[in-house]
Chains A and B, each alone.
Chain A
Amino acid sequence: MPRGYGFRKESSWQILIGASVIGITLLAALCVVGLSLSLLGHFTLGGLPHVTWEFLTEAPRNNNTEGGIFPAIYGTVMLVILMSILGVPIGTVTAIYLAEYAREDSPFTRWVRFGVNTLAGVPSIVFGLFGLGFFVQFVGKGIDWMLGLGLSWGKPAIIWAAATLAVLTLPVVIVSVEEALRSVPRELREAALALGATRWQTIRRIVLPHAFTGILTGSILAVSRGAGEVAPIMFVGAAYSLPELPKSLNSQFMELGYHLFVLSTQSPDVEATKPLQYATTVVLLLTTFVLNLAAILLRLKMRKQRSTGH
């Protein structure tokens, strides 16, 4: 018997409405799918042919109108590595608190959760302002003042950009690491505790090793998010064009997303650099999607481990 078969015979307008409800929603769904795929297709088709070995390995020349994007790739990689070093430990410890120590009903826990959610909702440009006002103007200038260095840290630099992105991606790390910790079977903890291990010993020797994949997933998601963000780093350290690679933590750097922004809006001849723009987009997209894919696969593996039982 078909679902929802009624006794009363349907009038034809009811059938019409029913069909149009389904039709309209189907249309919307197809639109969403179509938009996503056309976005992907447009850049893959338009950009891939322009990604050459020279493009990947050379520095930009002639005011960004020729050459490649190697400094931008290098800068992005350094940026996200620094960001992970700064952000992942804090995020992981917060997640440990939420998953292992927190009592759900305590006000403290509610505050921490509120903090995570709020932080995730702050606009990215505001993080940029924060990076400038706090890291550059306060921390950086403070270091200069204390060490009497003149002006070496109190200016936009890769370390401040990384710190800003670390703050921005903190919620991503916390949420996914917490999920990973919660997926560690209860019995393992109980067995360890029953053997006389303390709580911290249990976490360090049993829970954390089991949740390692999850922590990795969290970091990868954070990296993929951070690699695509431009607004927070525009005035905290990203450079317009900088053929040499950043040498120290207080150098400026080039970044893929910012480079795309510069190429497509600030260049004297936008049409001439179109191939460069598309190729940059493809490299940026590939970076984020490969990272996202890795995270999804790791998460699947994690869930499978959980469902088949350790």
Chain B
Amino acid sequence: MRVRRSRWGEKIVERIIRIVALSTITLITLIFLFIAREALGILSSSDSPHLLPVPHEAAPEIYGGEGNAGAAPEVYNPEAEFPEVPMGARSPAPQPGNGEAHPGLLQNLLSTVWQPVASQPKYGLLPLIAGTLKITVLALLIAAPLGILAAIYAAFFAPRRFRELIKPVVELLAGFPSVVIGFFCLMVVASIVQETIGTTYRLNALVGGFGLALAILPIIFTITEDSFANLPRYLWEAGLAVGARPWQVVLYIMVPAATPGIFAALLLGFGRAFGETMIVLMASGNAPLLSWSPLEPVRTMSATIGAEMGEVVWGSLHYSILFLIGVLLFVVTFLLNIVAEFWVRQRLLRRFRGIIS
């Protein structure tokens, strides 16, 4: 009888554990559903009174700059922030014909001006998307050569002492909270860049891109180094055996063999930089301009959410559009992850994500 009973218990326990193990998938589904739900407000919300642009003390265009008198909201005040928006006001189900609530919304979203707090609010996402791509590419241009070359040195040429030093140091860099990196760029990097290049804007895409590069450097270094370490030893030995110098083996055999790993490193670095918020919010100037110059301020998608979500009226069109940007961020990083997953062995990913990142 005892055995029987404990078998029953076993079954139940196993069931429960299986259900809890589903939590990650459930959470991802929930994340997508609930962000999308709030974003769907753009279809259903009509410009009822509570959606009218609130008179704002001219929201500062450039956060984090000097002389920024951005009146951030004081201690939370429920009465002020919730002008009784009933739950139903943002009914998630778009009713037929309701897409007409905002005539020309699509054109508005695809326009080139982001001016959400104005009497004629403009929600052009293009400058934000372009800004995000610009600063992410800048970050990769800085971090990729550094990270990959340093990984090559650490994996193949470094004396043992140096190898034992560089790994903890990179972990140290990975341990810096992004708000601290942002602060560093704001205080130090911005000044250095301004003094050496003489830029018009103290905070610009280059400063933010450098900060992002600091954030993704550990990812790129670690995954690249790991993919070198996982190459079979015989590649190295065979190369030397046919008379190649070590640098030739590295350049012509090891690096090409590790390409998938390097590619995945770049992809994950890109994904991280793409969604990173605090660094760009603090160090990139935050002006939604559409330009190619790396020396002008830039506003990313994530920074837009970070800067404006705190002051937006819940349930308004602006609010829904910020969530729409969130959906975009989620979908892009999700797709990047799937591709990276396809390229890298599961183990590598797990190591870097759980322990390094």
Residues of chain A touching chain B, judged by Cβ–Cβ distance below 8 Å, are 3-8, 10, 14, 17-18, 21-22, 24-29, 31-33, 35-37, 39-40, 42-43, 90, 93-94, 96-98, 101-102, 108, 111-130, 132-134, 137-138, 141, 145, 151, 155-156, 167, 170-172, 174-176, 179, 198-201, 221, 224-225, 227-231, 234-235, 239-242, 252, 257-258, 260-262, 264-266, 268, 270, 277, 281, 284-285, 288-289, 292, 296
Q: Give the distance in Å from the alpha carbon of A117 to the alpha carbon of B349 in the complex.
A: 7
Q: Give the distance in Å from the alpha carbon of A24 to the alpha carbon of B151 in the complex.
A: 12
Tell me if B55 is interfacial: C-beta within 8 Å of chain A.
Answer: no
Q: Give the distance in Å from the alpha carbon of A284 to the alpha carbon of B64 in the complex.
A: 20
Tell me if B294 is interfacial: C-beta within 8 Å of chain A.
Answer: no
Q: Number of contacts between A and B (CB, 8 Å)?
A: 339
The reply to whether A155 and B76 form a contact with Cβ atoms under 8 Å apart is: yes
* New A-B pairs, 19, CB < 8 Å, besides A29-B158, A228-B179: A4-B240, A29-B149, A29-B162, A32-B146, A119-B28, A120-B357, A121-B337, A121-B353, A123-B275, A124-B277, A171-B353, A175-B353, A179-B354, A228-B178, A229-B178, A234-B306, A234-B309, A270-B68, A285-B180
In the complex with contacts A123-B275, A174-B24, A200-B9, A97-B18 CB distance below 8 A: yes
The reply to whether A155 and B78 form a contact with Cβ atoms under 8 Å apart is: yes
B331 to chain A, nearest CB (A): 10
Interface residue SS majority, chain A: helix
Partner of A125, one of B181, B248, B277: B277
The reply to whether A93 and B78 form a contact with Cβ atoms under 8 Å apart is: no
Q: Give the distance in Å from the alpha carbon of A113 to the alpha carbon of B338 in the complex.
A: 12
Q: Give the distance in Å from the alpha carbon of A179 to the alpha carbon of B350 in the complex.
A: 10
Using Cβ atoms and an 8 Å threshold, which residues of chain A touch B149? 24-25, 27-29
In the complex with contacts A123-B275, A261-B179, A240-B22 CB distance below 8 A: no
Of listed A126, A175, A179, A231, residue having the most chain B CB within 10 A:
A126
15 sample A-B contacts, Cβ–Cβ < 8 Å, listed by A number: A4-B240, A32-B170, A33-B169, A101-B14, A121-B353, A125-B277, A129-B38, A129-B326, A130-B31, A145-B87, A171-B24, A198-B7, A252-B75, A252-B76, A262-B72
The reply to whether B18 and A101 form a contact with Cβ atoms under 8 Å apart is: yes
Stretch from B94-102, B123-131, B182-190 forming part of the interface with A: B182-190
Using Cβ atoms and an 8 Å threshold, which residues of chain A touch B214? 35, 39
A176 to chain B, nearest CB (A): 5
Q: Give the distance in Å from the alpha carbon of A126 to the alpha carbon of B336 in the complex.
A: 15
Using Cβ atoms and an 8 Å threshold, which residues of chain A touch B148? 28
Tell me if B1 is interfacial: C-beta within 8 Å of chain A.
Answer: no
In the complex with contacts A6-B245, A124-B275, A231-B278, A117-B251 CB distance below 8 A: no
Partner of B175, one of A230, A261, A281, A289: A289
